[in-house]
Amino acid sequence: MSSRTLQSKLLICILMIPKTKKFISFTNKIIPSELTEEAKTALSFYPELISVPIEFRFTKKVSSSIMKAQPEFLSLLNKKSERKYIIFISRSFGIKGKELSTANIPTEVMVGWLGHELGHIMDYIDRSSLNLVAFGIGYLFSSSFIKKAEQRADRFAVQHQMKDYILATKNFILNHTELSDEYKNKIKRLYVSPEEIIEFVNEQTTSIS
């Protein structure tokens, strides 16, 4: 049995913990109960993150996005191996003047969204703290930087066999007629398209063969 297979089985065992009323905390992961199953599924694709402290945190709003992954600020003072990460999740999002609960997004779409954010954390874990500060600045001020960062996150997700979930998320956003054109155009401009995801898969298949 390969070490990766063993890690995956270990992670699945760790994640099989019963629900509590408000939060589930296991080892070094904290998950709102509304997202327990989706977060467990997404995490099962990333055995490398078993030892990484991650909190999935609902918040009122995440700037102009629905989710955002970042290091916990104070943990940037720690060694790489001791850093903590937070995935911020908007409690709701607006569609044509209405507020809809993020927790009501279809399961496979939510898994894909969380899987994409875990891809960002994969991109972060080997960076120095100084590099992560520079990364944050680049993300704030450069569209080309954002595109490259989002591309890396999706590549990590595809490499971790999350293609179908990632495609479900992108198709949900782009084909959801009630989402604003402004938001869809932002996604088209800055994020990887479904067609590019298929290209990533093909590249991966070619490299393996």
What is the full DSSP assignment across 183-203?
HHHHHHHHS--HHHHHHHHHH
What is residue 175's predicted lDDT score, i.e. its pLDDT? Answer: 82
User: Quick check: pTM over 0.75?
Assistant: yes
What is residue 178's predicted lDDT score, i.e. its pLDDT? Answer: 65
Give the three-class secondary structure for 65: strand
pLDDT, average across residues 180-199: 84
| Axis crossing angle, helix 194-208 with helix 143-159, rounded to the nearest 10 | 50
Distances from the Cα of 122 to the Cαs of 18, 28, 126, 179, in angstroms? 27, 16, 8, 29
pLDDT, average across residues 41-47: 96
What is residue 193's predicted lDDT score, i.e. its pLDDT? Answer: 85
- The least confident of 45-54, 87-96, 120-129, 132-141 is 87-96
Nearest C-alpha neighbor of 84 from the set 95, 96, 73: 73
For residue 185, give both structure tokens. 């155009």
Domain residue spans in the chain?
A: 3-208
| pLDDT tens-digit readout, 70-85 | 999 999 999 999 999 9
